[in-house]
C-alpha cells in the first residue's frame, strides 16, 4: 500500500499482485480534509490507461468540467489532466491497464462519462452505497478489490495478440521490433490498438516514453536531461521537451525542479 499525504490531502494506492495485476494497475482512495481553506489540485499522468471513479461527496472538477455524479467512467488517458478537489472531497477508484476497460465496458469515450444514479446496475449501486458508508481508505480499497474480483470475468478481456504486443512495446523503444514478434499483421495490430485502446501503436509508444522519463525524473530529479532523452528513445532533448509539453503538460526541466522542491 502506497500513501501520499500532506496537511489536508490523503491518497492511498494499492497495486494488486497475482492474477488481478495483469488487468488492474491500481485501486485507490483519496480525501481532502473538510477543514481545508480551499481546493486541492493534482495532475493525473497520461498513461494510456482508463478506469472507473467513485465520487462520494460533492462535485469535483476534471480539467475545467464539474462532475457531481457518483460514478464516472474515465476515458483513455492520452495526456495529463488536472483534477480539482474541494474541501471534504471523498473519492475511490480502479485504474485498469491499457485495453482492459474497453473489454469490460465495451465503449470508449472522449471525456469522462457520468453515469446517472437511477440508471446504475444493481452491482454498481451496491458498491456505491457501500463506499459512501465506509469512511476508511483501507476499507474502501479492500471493498473495491473484492468487488472487481467478483463481478469481472477477465478471461477474454483483451485478445492474446494485443496483450503480447503491449508487453513488447513496454519493453522496447522501437516499434519496428514488433515485426515478426506478434502473430498478426501490422494492419491487424493497428486495428486492435484503435479498437481496444483508442490510439495507434505509435501514439501508445510516445506515451510510454514520456511516462518512463517522468518516472526516472521522479526518482532522480538532478539527472542530465540530454542523457535522459537518449536513454528513453527520444532523438534529442528538444524532442523530449516537445513530447513532455504535449503529453505531460510540463517541461522536463520544470518537472525535475518541482520534484526536487517537494523532496527538500
Domain boundaries, the chain: 2-151, 160-263
Q: Which CATH topology does 160-263 take? A: Arc Repressor Mutant, subunit A (1.10.10)
The Cα 239–Cα 137 span in angstroms is 40
H or E stretch including 61? strand 60-62
DSSP strand pairing (50-55 vs 90-96) = antiparallel
Biggest alpha carbon distance in the chain? 58
Q: Which residue has the higher pLDDT, 223 or 172?
A: 223
The Cα 250–Cα 209 span in angstroms is 15
pLDDT of 173: 59
Which of the following CATH numbers is that of domain 2-151: 3.90.1170.50, 3.40.50.1100, 2.60.120.10, 3.50.30.30? 2.60.120.10
The contacts of residue 84 (CB under 8 Å, 6+ apart) are 39, 40, 41, 60, 61
Q: Assess contact for 95 and 25: CB atoms under 8 A.
A: yes
Q: Does the predicted model carry a pTM greater than 0.85?
A: yes
Q: Assess contact for 93 and 56: CB atoms under 8 A.
A: no
Which residue, chain included where needed, has cell 465496458? 105
Dump pLDDT digits (tens) for 200-227: 988 999 999 999 999 999 999 999 999 9
pLDDT of 219: 93
Dump pLDDT digits (tens) for 80-134: 999 999 999 999 999 999 999 998 888 888 899 999 988 888 999 999 999 999 9
Amino acid at each position: 500500500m502506497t500513501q501520499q499525504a500532506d496537511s489536508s490531502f490523503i491518497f492511498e494506492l494499492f497495486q494488486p499482485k497475482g492474477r488481478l495485476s495483469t488487468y488492474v494497475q491500481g485501486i485507490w482512495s483519496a480525501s481532502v480534509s473538510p477543514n481545508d481553506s480551499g481546493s486541492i489540485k493534482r495532475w493525473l499522468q497520461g498513461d494510456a490507461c482508463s478506469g472507473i471513479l467513485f465520487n462520494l461527496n460533492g462535485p469535483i472538477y476534471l480539467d475545467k468540467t464539474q462532475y457531481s455524479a457518483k460514478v464516472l467512467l474515465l476515458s483513455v488517458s492520452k495526456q495529463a489532466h488536472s483534477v480539482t478537489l474541494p474541501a471534504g472531497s471523498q473519492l475511490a477508484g480502479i485504474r485498469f491497464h491499457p485495453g482492459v476497460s474497453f473489454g469490460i465496458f465495451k465503449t470508449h469515450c472522449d471525456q469522462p462519462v457520468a453515469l446517472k444514479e437511477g440508471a446504475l446496475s444493481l452491482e454498481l449501486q451496491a458498491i456505491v452505497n457501500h463506499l459512501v458508508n465506509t469512511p476508511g481508505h483501507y476499507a474502501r480499497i479492500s471493498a473495491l478489490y473484492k468487488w472487481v474480483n467478483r463481478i469481472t470475468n477477465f478471461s477474454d478481456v483483451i485478445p492474446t495478440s494485443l496483450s503480447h504486443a503491449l508487453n513488447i512495446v513496454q519493453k522496447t523503444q522501437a516499434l519496428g521490433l514488433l515485426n515478426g514478434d506478434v502473430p498478426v499483421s501490422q494492419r491487424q495490430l493497428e486495428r486492435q490498438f484503435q479498437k481496444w485502446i483508442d490510439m495507434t501503436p505509435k501514439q501508445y509508444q510516445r506515451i510510454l516514453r514520456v511516462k518512463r522519463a517522468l518516472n526516472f525524473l521522479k526518482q532522480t530529479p538532478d539527472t542530465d536531461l540530454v542523457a535522459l532523452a537518449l536513454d528513453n528513445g527520444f532523438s534529442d532533448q528538444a524532442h523530449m521537451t516537445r513530447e513532455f509539453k504535449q503529453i505531460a503538460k510540463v517541461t522536463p526541466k520544470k518537472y525535475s525542479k518541482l520534484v526536487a522542491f517537494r523532496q527538500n
